[in-house]
Structure 1
């Protein structure tokens, strides 16, 4: 490696067609990009958005492209700062989360690239599932390991552009137009059946071919990618009771475990290590709980990048100080050594 490289990673901005979040994630992102990324001296910079950057899921036809354009127009400061980054040579990465799963569709990904970097579209990359930098990091949003948010066949949408993604059970509840709990429960039941069928298809040879293609993009072998894809699985019989327990704990004020890395993080790093693809960092978002933690029996370090929206969870400093915005930084020295971790950024005047 000829020069130093810096990765900035953040997640869960949840930018939508409105701009009513009191925390102002779009405006804060613009200031962060100007003051930190564009002002940095590193010759090679990557900014990775680790999922749920946009509210962009469950739309049919060209609806996703129209929604994406509308979102960027509603957040002009963020839009122009992202444009400036791409124009300056900063590589932008967008990982798909459960709230912006439609980015996995090639036409939507191409639209994002054209909007942010019309001269050099390759400056904007969309990763439908995982981002892998060999020996350095693996990043994914994390929803694939939470049953009610899991989208088993996400890679089908990355190939078949016209296909609308199957909504996972929790999204089906929130997206249902009726206020009737009975109607919504019916939508959830249908989504559960759909997820069960999708899990069976993921384990068939046709999906293995998609995983094999994905392994080439990720610079991993086919067996590793297949094992990673099958680490988690939706099962109605276990997912619904587990969710009910979490809801009861929240309702009674009993804290949901938030100070430890999720079990899936250890499974992922052990799988990578078993296949000879160790990385220094495993990074995810999704839970809105910013966290840095060691992983048991592993040299890999775990970072959750929290959220920039107002739905902050967990005991971090962003809970009491809403002007603290979590992100991860990973520096790669010319000799390949890495350093970094969870950081908190505060805007000017904070």
Structure 2
């Protein structure tokens, strides 16, 4: 196949201001970029970080900027490798996840671009919700389909440039970890009410205008994007019991998710197909379970890029082998045909 472009996709590195994870994702990423990406020869090269690349959650705007710079200071080799990729023409894409949602703030996104590609800022792009390559792939972190992580009005911050980021229920619980059980419960109750109100607001004309602007930026059909934004919905009455059940199962050491594509993935792909916007690949992260799967009769192939952290929850080779790191690759031929799927990279070349 004569390649026109190659896309590498990975997620959930959770790079923070320390590097105490036994899998050392901050040390592994530069090796991966140099051995896989910079050594490749496709005319167009793209690296997509499908969310939770950084640990920024819960920061105010000024703190987000400072923490982002501190993370790169702590992971200098990662910073240099990303900078080298951008300087050599590799397009870097960052999709926001629930742990680095602060990237939706224009000031934080601009700072990321300035750090990694000071001479050509367009080499670095940030996506508040999803990345779309027509007929090829859609990539989103996946937390928008997880009720307690869902932020219905995510685009409002990205477009308006405000500092306001409403915490989803689970983030509100974690943000009040040092408080009493009562204070944490009250925080979650308020977050649930805020999420319910936000779900109603995204069905109004004002939010439709934001979706229209985003559809133009993403080369996406406006009607399709509007339906995708409403595909999953937060409802307190169903979210809280399900989450409580999962917490009990987790505490008992039992798995809370099977090794199959989530139902939301099939709904997402069918929605794209129904509107004539189908893609070959739908890629997410978030669950920390690396997986490639068919989506029933839908021609779209699903890939979850797992995690490079030690919090592996799937049954793939990365569960037993800390030197196996999951990622997805999609090669695009000159005639538009694609190939690829889930892969595992090892620093020793295995």
After TM superposition, list the pairs within 5 Å mapping 1:183-262 onto structure 2.
183-262=183-262
Unaligned runs of 5+ in 1: none
Structure 1 Cα separation of the partners of residues 331 and 183 of structure 2:
50
Superimposed CA distance per residue, residues 188-213 of structure 1 (whole angstroms, 9 cap, x where no aligned partner): 11111111111111111111100011
Q: Give 1:187 shift.
A: 1.3
TM norm structure 2: 0.97
Relative to structure 1, is the Cα distance of residues 349 and 328 closer, same or farther in structure 2, using a 3 angstrom cutoff? closer
Q: Give 1:257 shift.
A: 2.8
RMSD: 1.3
Instruction: Determine if contact 2:221/2:277 at 8 Å carries over to the other structure.
Output: no
Aligned to 2:159, what secondary structure does the other structure show? coil
Aligned to 2:21, what secondary structure does the other structure show? coil
Match of 1:162 in 2: 162
After TM superposition, list the pairs within 5 Å mapping 1:69-84 onto structure 2.
69-84=69-84
Superimposed CA distance per residue, residues 83-117 of structure 1 (whole angstroms, 9 cap, x where no aligned partner): 00000000000000001001011111110000000
Structure 1 Cα separation of the partners of residues 197 and 289 of structure 2:
31
**1:60 matched to 2:95:** no
Instruction: Determine if contact 2:130/2:138 at 8 Å carries over to the other structure.
Output: yes
**1:135 matched to 2:152:** no
Q: Give 1:178 shift.
A: 2.0
Match of 2:283 in 1: 283
What is the total number of aligned residue pairs between the two structures? 349
Q: Give 1:42 shift.
A: 1.5
Structure 1 Cα separation of the partners of residues 281 and 221 of structure 2:
19
Structure 1 Cα separation of the partners of residues 61 and 305 of structure 2:
32
Superimposed CA distance per residue, residues 21-54 of structure 1 (whole angstroms, 9 cap, x where no aligned partner): 1111111001100111111122210000000000
Q: Give 1:326 shift.
A: 0.1
Match of 1:11 in 2: 11
Structure 2 Cα separation of the partners of residues 21 and 264 of structure 1:
30
Structure 1 Cα separation of the partners of residues 219 and 94 of structure 2:
18
Q: Give 1:249 shift.
A: 2.3
Match of 2:98 in 1: 98
Instruction: Determine if contact 1:61/1:162 at 8 Å carries over to the other structure.
Output: no
Unaligned runs of 5+ in 2: none
Structure 1 Cα separation of the partners of residues 94 and 259 of structure 2:
26
Aligned to 1:300, what secondary structure does the other structure show? strand
Structure 1 Cα separation of the partners of residues 278 and 4 of structure 2:
20
Structure 1 residues 54-63 or 275-284, which shifts more?
54-63
Q: Give 1:271 shift.
A: 0.5
Instruction: Determine if contact 1:12/1:285 at 8 Å carries over to the other structure.
Output: yes
